[in-house]
Amino acid sequence: MKRKNAILRTPYTVRMCHWLMVVCFFFVAMSGLSWFFPSLSWLNSLLGGPQLARILHPFMGVLIFLFLAYLFMRLVRHNLPEPGDSKWFAEIGQVLKGDHNEELDTGKYNAGQKVLFWGIMGLISLLLISGVLIWRPYFAPLFSIPTIRIGLFLHALAGILLMLLVIGHIYLAFWVKGSVDAMSSGYVSRKWARTHHPRWYRQVTGKKDAP
């Protein structure tokens, strides 16, 4: 995308953090799946085999949490619920058809993206807490067997839900043309900004409409 006339949507540090987190997420998710489904046990070779994967999985999980904590601090103010969000959900059919109702007047992130944001943040927190409960040899000995069992169940459940949410996130990122630019170059066209996030467009440009 030509930077002249484009608008910066995602600063470098946020993009860097997002992509480093995506790389870690890939390895952690693959090793997690390798333990969940025996037929996928070959996937742990991506992290150097069963023993190494078992050691690296929790450390990389903590890294993902730290990257997401940084994203949380940078993005939370744009993801707070607003009265207009319910209208976005009520008109989800039109939104999905690409029929942009100006009355929605979406800010930096739409209601669907906010759900994704809070879903990811909630599930990653649950993964961290349950992960600590079951982390041998460091923390698990501090807890009772029934607590560890609950931890294992919650960890597997949150892991699967997060993977499903991320699959939806990736699908929508490619489906809405121009979105990936927001996370790759960081810049979006004025037309994209005006169409998908008109209120944010006005806030960053201080304009009523494009020149």
Query: What sign for the dihedral angle of Cα 158, 72, 169, 62?
Result: negative
Taking CB under 6 A as the criterion, the residue among 6, 20, 22, 157 binding ligand HEM is: 22
Q: Which of 170, 203, 207, 210 binds ligand HEM (CB under 6 A)?
A: 170
Identified binder of ligand HEM from the candidate list 16, 164, 180, 210, rule CB under 6 A: 180
Q: Quick check: 200 binds ligand HEM (CB under 6 A)? A: no
Closest to 109 in 3D by CA, of 183, 28, 16: 183
Question: What token pair was written down for 86?
Answer: 């319910």
Total of residues contacting ligand HEM (CB under 6 A): 22
Site residues (CB under 6 A) for ligand HEM, limited to 117-146: 117, 120
Distance of CA 25 to CAs 55, 72, 116, 168, Å?
A: 15, 16, 16, 15
List, in sequence order, every residue forming a beta bridge with 7; answer none if it has no partner.
Answer: 188
**What is the residue type of 41?**
S
Please report which residue ranges of the chain form alpha helices under DSSP H: 12-36, 50-75, 84-90, 92-97, 111-133, 145-175, 179-183, 190-196, 198-205
Q: Which stretch binds ligand HEM (CB under 6 A): 94-102, 128-136, 147-155, 177-185?
A: 177-185
Q: Does 182 bind ligand HEM (CB under 6 A)?
A: yes
Alpha carbons within 13 A on the beta-carbon side of 172: 14
Nearer Cβ to ligand HEM (116/148): 116
* 79 is a site residue for ligand HEM (CB under 6 A): yes
57, 78, 155, 169: which is the annotated catalytic residue? 169
- Please say if 169 is a catalytic residue: yes
Catalytic residues: 169
Contacting residues toward ligand HEM, per CB under 6 A: 9-10, 18, 22, 25, 71, 75, 79, 109, 113-114, 116-117, 120, 166, 169-170, 173, 179-180, 182-183
